[in-house]
Amino acid sequence: MADDGMHHHRHHNPTNYGIVSAPHGPETGDDHASFKEGISEQQQFELFKPIMYPDDSYTAEGTYWADLPFMKMLSFNRAVDNAETKKELGQIWAMMKKDPLSPVGWYFRNAVLPGAGLGLEGYVLFSIGNLAALFDVVWKSCWKSYTTCNETWVNAVTYLEIVGIIIGQILVGYLGDKIGRRWGLIQDAVIMFLGLIMLTASWGTTLNGWVICYALSLMFYGVGVGGEYPMTATAAMENATGSGKVSTKEDRLHRGRKVTMAFLMQGWGQFFNQAVLILLLLIFHHGSGNPPYSEISAQWTYRVSFALPAVGTLWLVYYRWYKMPLASKALDAAKKKASVTGYDVKSLKLTMNHFGGRLIATAGAWYCNDVFFYGNKLFQSQFISVISPTPKGQTASIMTGWLWNLVNVGVELVGYYLASFLIDNKFVGRKNMQQLGFLMCFICFVVPAFHYHYYAEETAHIGAFQALYFLSSFFNQFGPNSTTFLVAAEVFPTPVRASAHGFSAAVGKLGALTAAVLYAYITTQQKFYVVPWFGLAGMLVTLLFLPDTTGLDLKEQERRFSYLQQGREEDYHGVAVNPHHLSLWERLRGAGKHYNPQLDRDSKMADMAAEWEAKQFERSEKSRTEEGLSPDDDAFEDEYTPEMHAVLKSRANTGLKPAGPPSPSNSSGISNEKVAPLKA
């Protein structure tokens, strides 16, 4: 930012967190003024302690949980988690006493609706591999021998699907940061609805013409699918952090759960697709799942399977248009603070300069994961043929593969839910889960790779091979498949969050494309030779470049970014640069060298005072009616008591001087000379 622009907005721009003298804001009353005159510095900090040192993150002495010795850290976090669990169970019990079905309604509002787009795309996206098994049997000359269809176009069905997804992830990620989350969400739903109509009605005068129409329709649908990734992740994450609260306990303790609960709807989409295909084939094949299958039954099965989610997607268009008016609120607030309209190019440059390592982590880990995940899904029939081989002389029943896949998806759902329950546990956390998942996927594939005959071809050991296959599915969902979706949005600032997530997801889909191309030319055993090393690479990328943001308030991360926007990196001393929340790469580059709890305490007061003064200035400029503000816009002021308003007014008017060099401090990092330790 240019100096003249910065100084021009110095007093009233909310992004200015400088510790400077500010002009007088609107009067808040003589009582407040007289209160301020008689309050000491220590009393002020006692007054603001619940906001500055929330008890879910700080001890009674004011020590941040990540600064505690290991055993004390475990004890503190266990106490916080136990108290939160007890509170939530009490709330659930109270809801059930009032209405036994109310928890179901809560889950629908907080998990099903936010993840509905991912559920629908999961249903359609993974149906392609399931339907390929049916097409192989019914239209052998087209899908298997390629005598009536062009082999390139048949293979393009898989490739173009992934290409469409990549286009959507990058394009909609960019548009989501430029025009807002709400319109990105609406656009995705519209594209997916039109794509489903095209898939349901796909036709051709020849079989090859139908394949071409099918492939292009799938590519168009894929654009909407790709957009769902950055839009769902950012919208689910910003729903709490964009509420206007200074600090949100819900965000710190349950942000990961909130996002992964939406993401796991993808697993339910896969489950319902497989279940629906089984039921439809039984219906249209006269109650039998055994071959031979007629073309009529195949046509009805696959077309009705696409028509059903079209109805749900049309409802999704309605819901996002009329029921999500504030989906872009956090982004709009960030742009307003930075005085930016359109795409925030400056924030993108800052992100590349300061968070480039994180981009390597999110994109690289996603790439490694998708080699596992999509390779497993697109070519699962080859793995299942090893687990459940067809006797010689008999025609394979696609029901066998479909039923085994239904079991596999059930195992994956267990992994999805366990990830959702543990991802906010500070002892487990995102980074540890991702590394563990990659490691277990590596082991589950490398063991049969070097003992393939023993596990995959000797009948006595097929059960062990099956167990390894299902374990790889479980740990993929419990680990990198869930965590990559979360951290790709979480570790980046709001102005470029959708772009960074979209780019990371797009690189991930290159991993899916790698699997699609590679698996077409190598044997099943060779797949086991190649794939494990992507798990090992993903674990190393995570170890080096991914920070652990478990328990970190995203408001604090945004506060750090505002300092970076002003070119004042050295003035930020808060927990966002605590070594625990930085990657190994960032620590080696010195990103955490300015961390200082004592200096940060004074900075927080100055920042709150500056933001309070800016809010008051806005209120004096325009009436609420003219601004068209919603009730949520009072959240900042509602967080404070009248006494707090008096302190903030005084500090905004007089300015808080820089704290200077740190003096000897106690275990909390708060100076003993300046202020006594905070009391419980």
Give dist(CA 477, CA 557) in Å, integer: 27
Residue 89's pLDDT band (boundaries 50, 70, 90)? very high
Cα separation, 294 vs 300, in Å, equals 10
- pLDDT tens digits, one per residue of 1-32: 444 433 333 333 333 333 333 333 334 444 44
Q: Give the residue, 351 or 668, on which the prediction is more confident.
A: 351
pLDDT of residue 277: 94
Rounded mean pLDDT of 655-674?
Answer: 37
Residue 245, pLDDT > 60, answer: no
Instruction: Give the per-residue pLDDT at 400.
Output: 84
Tell me how many degrees the CA angle 335-337-342 measures, rounded to the nearest 5.
20
Q: Looking at residue 23, what is its pLDDT?
A: 36
Domain boundaries, the chain: 3-64+582-654, 117-545
Tokens 């609107």, residue located: 26
Q: What is the dihedral of CA 570, 572, 573, 575, to 10 degrees?
A: -130
The per-residue pLDDT for 639 is 64
Helix axes 597-621, 41-52, angle to 10 degrees: 80
- Could you tell me where the DSSP H helices lie in 108-180? 116-125, 127-138, 140-143, 151-178
Instruction: Transcribe 245-275 into DSSP letters.
Output: -SS-HHHHHHHHHHHHHHHTHHHHHHHHHHH
The residue-averaged pLDDT of 64-79 equals: 95
- How does pLDDT run across 427-486, given as a tens digit for each residue? 999 999 999 999 999 998 888 888 888 887 777 788 888 888 889 899 999 999 999 999
pLDDT tens digits for 550-569?
999 888 998 999 999 889 99
- Supply 153's token pair: 């176009």
Tell me, what DSSP letter sits at residue 64?
Answer: B
Q: For 502-531, what is each residue's pLDDT tens digit?
A: 999 999 999 988 887 887 788 877 888 888
Q: What is the pLDDT of residue 311?
A: 94
Query: Which comes out higher in pLDDT, residue 33 or 512?
Result: 512
145 class by beta-carbon count within 10 Å (0-12 exposed, 13-18 middle, 19+ buried): exposed
Residue 674 has pLDDT above 80, yes or no: no
> How large is the average pLDDT for residues 370-384?
67
Over 70: is that where the pLDDT of 641 sits?
A: yes
Max mean pLDDT range (110-119, 153-162, 189-198, 651-660): 189-198
| Contact (CB, 8 A) for 274 and 406 | yes
- Give this prediction's pTM: 0.83
User: Can you give the pLDDT at residue 9?
Assistant: 37
**Containing H/E element for 201?**
helix 181-201
Question: What was the pLDDT predicted at 214?
Answer: 95
State mean pLDDT over 351-364.
Answer: 94
Mean pLDDT, residues 396-414: 88
Burial of 9 (0-12, 13-18, 19+ CB in 10 A): middle
The architecture (CATH level 2) of 117-545 comes to Up-down Bundle (1.20)
Q: What is the pLDDT of residue 381?
A: 59
504 touches 366 (CB < 8 A): yes
Residue 640: both structure tokens together:
């404070």
Task: Tell me which of 342 and 509 has the higher pLDDT.
Answer: 509
pLDDT of the residue at 636: 52
Distance of CA 337 to the CA centre of its chain: 24
Whole-angstrom distance, CA of residue 511 vs CA of residue 534: 10
Dump strand ranges (E) for 441-547: none
- Over the chain, what is the mean pLDDT? 82
> In this predicted structure, what is the pLDDT of residue 367?
96
* CA distances (Å), origin 666, targets 525, 578, 672, 677: 60, 17, 6, 8
pLDDT, position 460: 76
pLDDT above 90 for 223: yes
Predicted local confidence at residue 246, as pLDDT: 39
Tell me the mean pLDDT in the region 189-217: 94
CA atoms within 13 A on the CB side of 576: 25
Q: Residue 4: what pLDDT?
A: 40
Q: What is the pLDDT of residues 92-126, one digit of tens each?
A: 999 999 999 999 999 998 889 888 888 998 899 88
Residue 665: band (very low, low, confident or very high) from pLDDT cuts 50, 70, 90: very low
Quick one: pLDDT at residue 391? Answer: 66
Residue 337 contacts residue 456 (beta carbons within 8 Å): no
pLDDT of residue 382: 57
What local confidence, expressed as pLDDT, does residue 637 receive?
Answer: 54
pLDDT at 410 over 90: yes
Per-residue confidence (pLDDT) for residue 38, from 0 to 100: 57
pLDDT in tens, 279-300: 999 999 887 778 889 999 999 9
582-640 pLDDT, tens digit each: 999 999 999 999 999 989 988 888 888 887 777 777 666 655 545 555 444 444 555 67
What pLDDT does residue 544 have? Answer: 96
Average pLDDT over residues 136-148: 91
Contact between residue 228 and residue 118 where contact means Cβ atoms under 8 Å apart: yes
Residue 272 pLDDT grade (very low, low, confident, very high; cuts 50, 70, 90)? very high
